[in-house]
Amino acid sequence: MKQRQVIGLLPAGGQAARISPLPVSKELYPIGFRRVDDNSLRPKVVCHYLLEKMRLAGITKAYTVLRPGKWDIPAYFGDGSMLNMNMGYLIISLPFGAAYTLDQAYPFVQDAVVAMGFPDILFHPDDAFVRLLARLEASNADVVLGLFPTEEPQKAGMVDFDAAGRVYKVIEKPPQSQLRYMWGIAVWTPVFTQFMHEHLAGILALSSLAPQRELPIGDVIQAGIDNGLRVEAEAFPEGTYLDIGTPPDLVRAVRLFAAEEI
């Protein structure tokens, strides 16, 4: 596995309906500031934080999967030189949720280790992907999930795991839960990439090309567990995770990050 390339994968197919209208794609909403070469400040967009954390883990190549119309994302990041990365852009063909969005990258990532994060999320610690990739390399896991504490299970994919980090259950957005941790980022091997590709194809074949609901990625991970894939967890007890996709959380993010680089 050491010889496999690690590729970042960012699903950006959403319409940001809960915070619309926006002047830009939500992944480009300015949150805080960054310093440039002359030490002056520039706005820092949401997606920049995720890409920085991937770059810190040594990831130099990433694909963002877009829905048609979100052309401002490639216009902003271009070839990725802003982050010293090589960036490419793919277009979704099936509007059935993030799992299908990610699967659009299958021909480009099927032989690589994938590091996946949502580009409208802010999280800590900064070395989260470093730690996930280290666990993946040191174990025989097919997937390693990055876990963050939450008190809002209805908004998250909650994870049941043991003291050794073995994941047994992923439950998407339960109304209530005694579980403490949600998953927010992930890394996986080609084994899971192939499983997801075949699993989604099977769902489409059984549903006349129109799934009855959007399929969360957590449901695909649970299907992998049910089919014998090994999923492990790297928990960040002091970690934070903030989705900017609702007005209250967007306000909170702007306030928290406004003075970070000043």
Domain that includes residue 108, residue range: 6-257
Tell me whether residue 1 is in a domain.
no
Q: What's the pLDDT score for residue 1?
A: 41
Number of domains in the chain: 1
Please tell me whether the peptide bond between 125 and the residue prior to it is cis, using omega within 30 degrees of 0: yes
Tell me whether residue 64 is in a domain.
yes
Tell me whether residue 252 is in a domain.
yes
Tell me whether residue 136 is in a domain.
yes
Tell me whether residue 46 is in a domain.
yes
Contacts of residue 182, Cβ cutoff 8 Å, sequence gap at least 6: 147, 148, 149, 150, 153, 156, 157, 158, 159, 241
CATH number at residue 180: 3.90.550.10
Q: What is the pLDDT of residues 147-196, one digit of tens each?
A: 999 999 999 999 999 999 999 999 999 999 999 999 999 999 999 999 99
Tell me whether residue 31 is in a domain.
yes
Tell me whether residue 262 is in a domain.
no
The proportion of the chain whose per-residue pLDDT surpasses 90, expressed as a percent, equals: 75
Contacts of residue 201, Cβ cutoff 8 Å, sequence gap at least 6: none
Q: What is the mean pLDDT of the chain?
A: 92
Q: What's the pLDDT score for residue 208?
A: 65
Cα dihedral 26, 188, 185, 132 sign: negative
Q: What is the pLDDT of residues 32-65, one digit of tens each?
A: 888 888 888 888 999 999 999 999 999 999 999 9
